[in-house]
Amino acid sequence: MSICTTCPYCGVGCGIKTDGIALQGDKQHPANAGRLCVKGSSVLETLGDQDRLLQPEVNGEVVSWDHALSEVADRFRRIVDEHGPDAVAFYVSGQLLTEDYYVANKLMKGFIGSANIDTNSRLCMSSAVVAHKRAFGEDVVPGCYEDLELADLVILTGSNTAWAHPIVYQRIAAAKQARPDMKVVVIDP
C-alpha cells in the first residue's frame, strides 16, 4: 500500500509517495509536482536502524535509560548547585514540535530558572524575519512557489538555493528557461 508523505529534509516540503520499499515524487503535490532532489530520493535509506544508537551509553558503556537519565539529571543538578542556573544551557532541535518546545522551555525557564535555551530554528529563521520586516514591515511569508515562477525579477540573497532547496531552484531554472527575459540575481554576502 502506498502512502503520501512529506520529505523531511528541507523547507520546500516536497510530496512523496512510498510503500516503504520504493518511492517517487508525488505528481499531485503543489510543491514538487513529482520532482525530488537527491536528498528526497534517498529518504528510504534512513529506514534501517543498523547505524543508529539504539540504547543509551555513558562513557561508551551501554546502560539503562534510568541510569542515563539519572546521570544527566545529577550532572545538571551538580552544576546548577555549584555555579547557579545560568551555568547550564539547552540548545534544542528545530525539528521538535510546539508541545516539545513548550516542555523544554518550561524545564529551563520554569524549573531550572535560566533563560539559556535556544533552538536552531531561531538561528535558521532570524535572518528571514529581519529581511521580511525590512522589506514588508512585518514577518510574513509574502509569496508562494508560483509567484517565483511568474516573477520578472527574482533576487536570491545569501541563499545557495541550488544546494539547499533544489526543487525550488529547479522551478526557478525551468521558469527562466521558458521565459529568458526573467532575471535571477544572486547576492552572495
Q: Which positions lie near ligand SF4, rule CB under 6 A? A: 7, 9-10, 12-14, 32, 36-37, 39-40, 165-167
The CB-of-175 to ligand SF4 minimum distance in angstroms stands at: 16
119: which strand partners?
A: 92
The CB-of-43 to ligand SF4 minimum distance in angstroms stands at: 8
Cα(176)–Cα(153) distance, integer angstroms? 10
Residue whose CB is nearest to ligand SF4 in the complex, by number: 40
Task: Report the candidate in 84, 83, 101 with the shortest Cα–Cα distance to residue 92.
Answer: 101
- β-pairing verdict for 3-6 and 117-119: unpaired
Nearer to ligand SF4, 70 or 95 (CB): 95
Nearer to ligand SF4, 70 or 160 (CB): 160
The CB-of-4 to ligand SF4 minimum distance in angstroms stands at: 14
Q: Reduce the DSSP state of residue 32 to 3 states and report it.
A: coil
Nearer to ligand SF4, 43 or 108 (CB): 43
| Size of the chain, expressed as the number of residues it contains | 189
Q: What is the CA radius of gyration of the chain?
A: 22
Nearer to ligand SF4, 38 or 53 (CB): 38
For residue 133 the three cell numbers come to: 520586516
CA dihedral 35, 40, 97, 156 (to 10 degrees): -60
The CB-of-105 to ligand SF4 minimum distance in angstroms stands at: 28
B/e letters for 69-108, b = 16+ CB within 10 Å, e = fewer, are eeeeeeeeeeebeeeebeebeeebeeeeeeeebeebeeeb
Beta carbons of 168 and 161 less than 8 angstroms apart:
yes
Nearer to ligand SF4, 9 or 85 (CB): 9
The CB-of-169 to ligand SF4 minimum distance in angstroms stands at: 8
Nearer to ligand SF4, 27 or 106 (CB): 27
The CB-of-36 to ligand SF4 minimum distance in angstroms stands at: 4
